[in-house]
Amino acid sequence: MTTDARTPNPHAALDDPSVLIEDVVRESIVEAVPIGRTERQAEFYTLRDGEMLLNMGPQHPSTHGVLRVVLKIDGERVVDIDPVIGYLHRGVEKLCENADYHQAICYTDPLEYVSSLFCEWAPVMAFEKLLDVEVPRRAEYIRVLSTELNRVASHALTMGWFALDLGGLTPVLYSFIERDEIMEMLTALTGQKLLFNYMRIGGVNGDLNHEFMSRLGDWMSRAARHIESNQGLLNENEILVRRARGLGILDPETALRMAVTGPNLRASGVPFDVRRAHPYSVFPELDFDIPTRQEGDCLARYLLRIDEIKQSLRIIDRCLHQLPDGPVMARLPRLVRPRPGRAFAAVEGPRGMYAAYVISDGTDQPFRMRIHDPSFVHLQLVGLMTPGNLVADTMAIMASLDPVMGGVDK
Amino acid sequence: MSVVGASWQRMSLTGRILAIAVPILVAVAVLGLLGVVLAGPIVAAFLGDNVPLVRFAAAVGGILVLTIPTAFIVIYMELKVIARMNLRIGPDRVGPFGTAMSVVHGLKFVGKEDFTPTGVDVQVFTMAPVVVFLATVMTMVVIPFAPGLFGLDLNIGVLYLFAISGLTVVGLLMGGWASFNKYSLLGGLRAAAQMVSYEIPLTLSVVGVVLLAGTMSLNQIVLGQSGSFVDWYIWKQPLAFLIFFIAGTAEANRSPFDFSEADQEIVAGFATEYSGMRFGFFFFAEYVNVFVMSALIVTFFVGGWTAPIAWPWPVDLSAVDPLGLGVGLLLLIAIGPVVGTIVCAVPFWLASRFSTLQALVLGFVVFNVLAILAVMGWAFISFDWVVGLAWFFAKTYAFIFVFVWMRGSFPRVRIDQLMGLAWKWLLPAALLNIFVTASAVLILNR
Amino acid sequence: MDRALRTRLERRFGERLTGPVRQRHDETEIRITAADVTEVVRSLHDEPELDFRLLADLCGVDTGDRMQVVYHLWSATTVDWLRVVADGLDRESPRVPSATFLWKGAEWMEREAYDMFGIVFEGNRDLRRIYMPDDYASFPLRKDFHLADDSSRSPGLGVRPMEETLAPADATPATLLRRSGAERA
């Protein structure tokens, strides 16, 4: 460890051999009250009679990744909740500032690793705006096709996980059949299993191939039926319905105030979908509906995702029929230097609006790469919807909001 | 240095072991012989005078020994059946078709480090698994497995049963409280609340059966259902059967009522701080409890060890008397397996896919299977307790399969919905059942 | 590129805009000062002909000589994204009014901007670190951030680890430097 006369070593106490580590550690432990005194924290950590703090730590069989949730409970009822994130923070935005534009795409993949093609698409769209690149139509169609497949896979995972968090062991494995097949398809197309690294500035990395098309054809012929039968296990199940109906109701006003987007917003009745509200790519040419539900509870969010899978199947079908010929990537130099400027691009991911805001200063590295992730915003809803419910419902609510910690923590 | 010390120095390791072990073994053998010779007759006389005591001790010993393989089988069923429902295979490497998996689990538990976390109440912590396990196993003393095969035919068998199974609650509370852990506390309280709530409908639903049978002795209840399947109490008490089934699932902490071990929420509930064989006791106790609940359903409602239909033709095996052959028996035992192996090997050899050696091996296996089946068939026909035992286990394992099936299919019911079900639905239904049954018995018996 | 939107914005906010309304592709950008944020954002949200009710993003930017807070908004009345840049924040002590009075969902976005840049949002009830540990001694996305020895050389230095930090209203870089100097004097 280097020391400098200008900046004295803040860990000097720890380096001094005469200072016992227990004394240093003891001084720094403050019981149950973290370091920092915001208003909200003071409110949260004041326990009234009979209340107890229960910590569902970052390692837990059920939180969707490394999420720490501190619950203030009164018996079985949750009085308040404080989600603590940051356990998966990888500094993606800072890393992208030190990489050039083509390399930055690889950094954005593992953000929402469950649906990584969307995580690439938004930044790539922003880069294309900065570079004024025209993306070939075939590439746009391939982008839509592959991302809609990824959406189906992501929703399948979400629905399986929702049932698992409620205690049903079987549906997750049934959903994973769908997800497995789609992942095999996308592996044939992109060469990667989970973090696809398929989008490029100006197109996609490689055209459709025979294996992908044959797997896709196979799957499309059974997909609708499979999904119906999988849902037959759960949708009418009395236990699931009784647990999810009326739980975690989100009304449209609150949803807009909390900057919620995606299925969580549409399940509350607001028909906002970036593909229709602010169309991008070739979505104006594709014929599909925006499913909406009015109840806004966990069951509505769950059922809405099933509706979205059906719409995605429609989109994939349309894409296959309307796929034009042509190149799949615009020609760009190896090192791109966009004009100095700013660009914002948003796509409709499976969890909500996924956006990228890129500032370029004329060099070959982005000056600022900002990723806006929907799961990050939606996790605030947990603090709104859980108080008043039981501990068991915490998991149900979180599962229905579908956060992916990679995106939350960036 | 003494002579002994010097020769000890010179001995090899094997020599040292033998030098210590052999004298000890000899001493033990001599003392044992002396003990048998001197005290043997006294002990034998005592036991001869108290045959019921001997019988009881043997029955209890048998039950204790029986619980472990039962738990193993139930665990294996759970692993395999749920796997198949999940479109997986389940364990299939560890033994033929993965059957040794449960055994390996048991060995794993025994091999783990046995620690007690800091801050726990050590005595209570240690006794909790014991209490839970014993409470479950003690109920098996009154269950009639076959005609004549039961631990004790208490004439207050039903009362004893539910009194003892109430001790499980104490054990769970002990485990949850002593663990010095918020998760365990929550889990223990949930489990205690659930079990106490469901004990009431459980007990009340059996009152109808007791009214019909006129006795609280389980053996008499089973005898009251003998005849054929139309005599089973399930037809006369369908509501009680349903209530008992649901309440039994909740008592056994099984899905969809496995709230106290919901590992999505509170890790492992009351058993969070337990590891090694302490957890093994909880684990086995749960599966033995599943067996006991199934056995109780079978005993009360499905006829116990009685067969659904009596064997229609009378079978008389007295003409076959193997001992009458004399020397011929010895020759049969010597030559029979060889001839049987060859006879069973011939089809395989003729199929010409197998070499002679492979055909002989397969023939040997097939002959053994056939011979065992023949012996079992003979036992089935000759001994009524074999028949009873076979039917009892068949029915019990059918219900265990249903329990496992439910675990693989249903999500979990929430705690307030669980309590609501017990107090608002099952309890009034059980009371209604008692009322109707009592009225029917009064009216029809007049 | 919505010309009508540009006209509406210039007419409504004329003198508050610190620069021309810039438009490119499907984005419209306006720049304001930190002091005007509350007024402008409230007008954009409440007025029916503007109706920017969806907050798409809230982030901080460090341009090297000053800090900015950038809001992206969406309205059903226009096809463009609206970008509102609250410019001219002092790099040593960046303060801006919070948007949580309109969008409660901005709370965590502002926490992230505080955590990464040190921008203090006045009015945010829960302004503490969100990604970095509570006792972290620097603000990572700043342009003068050095990652060495847990940021011991960074301008954010001055907060000793594992001890009580200052209340967020005082935890700006300048205060921290002053404090650390005083303690070491």
pLDDT tens digits, B368-420: 888 888 888 877 777 778 888 888 999 999 999 999 999 888 888 888 888 89
CB < 8 Å to A35, chain C:
134-135, 163-165
Q: Are the Cβ atoms of C24 and A379 closer than 8 angstroms?
A: no
- With cut-offs at 50, 70 and 90, classify the pLDDT of residue B427: very high
B354/A174: higher pLDDT: A174
pLDDT per residue of chain C (185 residues) written in tens, 0 to 9: 788 888 988 888 888 888 889 898 889 999 999 999 999 999 999 988 888 999 999 999 998 888 999 999 999 888 889 999 999 888 888 889 999 999 999 999 999 999 898 888 988 888 888 998 776 767 888 887 765 444 443 444 444 433 334 444 445 555 444 444 433 33
> Which of C104, C142, C179 is the mutation pick for testing A, counting most A CBs within 10 A?
C104
Q: pLDDT digit string (tens) for B14-30?
A: 888 888 899 999 999 99
C3-131 has which fold?
A: Beta Polymerase; domain 2 (3.30.460)
Among the partner-chain residues C161, C165, C184, the one whose CB lies closest to the CB of A8 is C184
The CA distances from residue A94 to A346, C125, C184, in Å, are 20, 27, 31
CA distance C94 to chain A (A): 18
C163, A272: Cβ pair inside 8 Å?
A: no
Q: Min CA distance, C102 vs chain A (Å)?
A: 7
| Beta-strand relationship, C22-24 and C27-33 | antiparallel
Digit-coded pLDDT (tens) for B318-329: 656 666 666 777
pLDDT at A6: 46
At the second CATH level, the architecture of A92-372 is: Orthogonal Bundle (1.10)
How far apart (Å, rounded) are the C-alpha atoms in residues B195 and B420? 13
Separation in Å, CA of B296 to nearest CA in chain A: 26
Domain boundaries, chain C: 3-131
pLDDT of residue B446: 59
Q: Are the beta carbons of B82 and A169 separated by less than 8 Å?
A: yes
What pLDDT, on a 0 to 100 scale, did the predictor assign at position A126? 94
3-state secondary structure B129-159: HHHHHHHHHHHHHCCCCECCECCCCCCCHHH
Which of A368, A408, A409 has the most C C-beta neighbours within 10 Å, making it the best mutation to test the interface with C? A368
CA dist A204 and B187 (Å) reads: 52
Q: Which of A61, A242, A394 sits opposite B263 (nearest CB)?
A: A61
Kindly state the tokens that stand for A100: 């050039």
The mean predicted confidence, pLDDT, of chain B is: 85
Chains with 3+ CB–CB pairs under 8 A to B are A
What is the per-residue pLDDT for C173?
Answer: 52
C2 neighbourhood in chain A, CB within 8 Å: none
Whether the pLDDT of residue B444 is over 90: the answer is: no
- pLDDT tens for chain A, 410 residues long, are 344 444 445 455 555 666 655 555 444 433 333 445 678 888 888 888 888 888 887 877 766 788 888 889 888 889 999 999 999 999 899 999 988 899 999 999 999 999 999 999 999 999 999 999 999 999 999 999 999 999 999 999 998 888 888 877 888 888 888 899 999 999 999 999 999 999 999 999 989 999 999 999 999 998 888 888 877 777 778 888 888 888 889 999 999 999 999 999 999 999 999 999 999 989 999 989 999 999 889 999 999 999 999 999 999 999 999 999 999 998 888 888 998 999 999 999 999 999 999 999 988 899 999 999 999 999 999 999 999 898 888 888 988 998 999 999 98
DSSP letter (8 states) at residue C76? T
Rounded to a whole number, what is the largest CA-CA distance in chain A? 76
Confidence of residue B154 (pLDDT cuts 50, 70, 90): confident
Token readout for A99 is 């990489």
Of A62, A168, A394, nearest to B411 by CB-CB distance is: A168
> Does an interface of 3+ CB pairs under 8 Å exist between C and B?
no
CA A92/CA A84 separation, integer angstroms:
19
pLDDT of residue A249: 92
Q: Answer yes or no: are the C-beta atoms of A309 and A227 closer than 8 Å.
A: yes
The full 3-state SS of chain A, as one line of letters, equals: CCCCCCCCCCCHHHHCCCCCHHHHHHHHCCCCCCCCCCHHHHHHCCCCCCCEEEEECCCCCCCCCCCEEEEEEECCEEEEEEEECCCCCCCHHHHHHCCCHHHHHHHHCCCCHHHHHHHHHHHHHHHHHHHCCCCCHHHHHHHHHHHHHHHHHHHHHHHHHHHHHHCCCCHHHHHHHHHHHHHHHHHHHHCCCCCCCCEECCEECCCCCHHHHHHHHHHHHHHHHHHHHHHHHHCCCHHHHHHHCCCCCCCHHHHHHCCCCCHHHHCCCCCCCHHHHCCCCCHHHCCCCCCCCCCCCHHHHHHHHHHHHHHHHHHHHHHHHHCCCCCCECCCCCCCCCCCEEEEEEEECCCCEEEEEEEECCCCCEEEEEEECHHHHHHHHHHHHCCCCEHHHHHHHHHHHCCCHHHHHC
How much is the pTM?
Answer: 0.81
How much of chain B exceeds pLDDT 90, in percent? 25
pLDDT at B232: 87
Residue of A235, A247, A238 lying closest to A394 (CA atoms): A247
| Chain B residues lying within 8 Å of A164, measured CB to CB | 264
The pLDDT value given to residue A2: 41
CA distance C117 to B231: 80
Reduced to 3 states, what is the DSSP secondary structure of residue C96? strand
Interface of A with B in 29-58 (CB under 8 A): 52, 54
Please count the helices (runs of H) and the strands (runs of E) in chain C.
Answer: 4, 7
pLDDT tens, position by position, B183-231 = 788 778 888 888 899 999 999 999 999 998 888 898 888 888 887 778 8
* CA-based nearest residue in chain B for residue A69: B265
Q: What is the pLDDT of residue B314?
A: 63
- B411 with A393: Cβ contact below 8 A: no
Residue A245, chain B, CB below 8 Å: the answer is: no
Residue in chain A nearest C75 by alpha carbon: A277
CB contact under 8 A, B264 and A391: no
Q: How many residues would you count in chain A? A: 410
Element (H, E) at C6: helix C3-13
| Inter-chain residue contact C134 with A344, CB threshold 8 Å | no
Instruction: Give tens-digit pLDDT for A182-199.
Output: 999 999 999 999 999 999
Provide ipTM, 2 decimals. 0.85
